[in-house]
Amino acid sequence: MGNQISKKRKRMKRGAVSITDTSRSSFSDQTKSSSQSDHYFNQSQYNAEQLLELHYLFKHVFQRNLIAPVENVLNVPGAQCLDIGCGPTATWLIDMAAEFPNANFTGIDIQEVNPVANPISPPSALPGQLPSNCQFKRIDVLLDIGLPLASFDHIYQRFMFNVYRMDAFRQSKFLELVDLLKPGGYIELIEPDMIPRQVGPKYSRLASAVSDMITSNKKSLYHGPVIKQCLLDAGLEDVQGDYISIPICWGGYVGKMLYESIVCVVGQLGEVLWPCLELEGDYDEMIYNKFLDSAFDECVEYKTYVNFHWAYGRKSSMANKES
């Protein structure tokens, strides 16, 4: 069938949350507190193997773990890097800690981080052994982060479109992140454009339903097209940004992997998305799965793709000098 996906519903790999699982406990738990109410999508909806594959998908697409020009800095002994929203297996951070053994890496996440489940091991380590230059803290980035000011050379953050809202709070939070940087340090962001391109009618409805769910308590959407401006608004210098396009369901391995990542999440959210999909009657799992089948088949027909944006900026080297 070439690059096309099978008409038969693809089942997730062993250990993944089945898309036919009717339990919504993870979603319900996330809506219990105001600080967590916007975390609709988080990496607990993937198992360790899927997180590993998602990480290497983007490493393959971008051809590296980093876009910001911080390689030389991270090779200096004692350099500090912060990964915001590192996920329960801290996949990017562990890969980076092995690649830059002279630097120290701190990962924070709203969930308990369990990196032992991460299949990545540095070449010099035993299977499952973590690099000694990384640590993890359970912190909700929407609350007080509580880390030392001016202590990081590089802050990395990706896939937080479900977390921030585009208002004064977001602006103050990004200023807080800048305060965590050393003078001359970099913030790097990667986010998808939540508006896919070249879409058919069903996938368009699905994408709109997801965006409506994410923005239900927000005035506008924090996603790829706005991240460069977010860094400019935070007062960073030398801000750079661009995007790369990734196909869904077509285009070989890359399109297949992005499809698997998307369906892993939306397959669990049928009851939440149903009211926005223009489907008749009460939620029906079988009808929803058939709708997903048709929507993703459209992606092959219409050659649907998503733009993933990146941006980075540098804190002024003169910042904090006066104090």
The lowest-confidence range among 14-28, 86-100, 180-194 is 14-28
Residues 258-285 as b or e (16 or more Cβ within 10 Å = b): bbbbbbbbbbbbbebbbeebebeeeeee
Average the pLDDT over 198-208 and give the result: 97
Residue-level pLDDT at 113: 79
Count the neighbouring beta carbons within 10 Å of the beta carbon of residue 153.
21
pTM for this predicted structure: 0.82
Task: Give 108's pLDDT tier (boundaries 50, 70, 90).
Answer: very high
What local confidence, expressed as pLDDT, does residue 166 receive? 77
**What ranges in 137-186 are assigned the alpha helix state H?**
168-180
In this prediction, residue 118 carries a pLDDT of 55
Tens of pLDDT, residues 35-87 = 333 444 444 445 667 777 788 888 888 889 999 999 999 999 999 999 999 98
The stretch 102-112 carries a mean pLDDT of: 94
Pairing of strands 152-158, 104-109: unpaired
On the question of pLDDT at 233 being above 60, the answer is: yes
What is the C-alpha to C-alpha distance for residues 60 and 30, in angstroms, rounded to an integer? 32
Instruction: Pick 73 or 268 by higher pLDDT.
Output: 73
Asked if residues 3 and 300 have their Cβ atoms less than 8 Å apart, the reply is yes
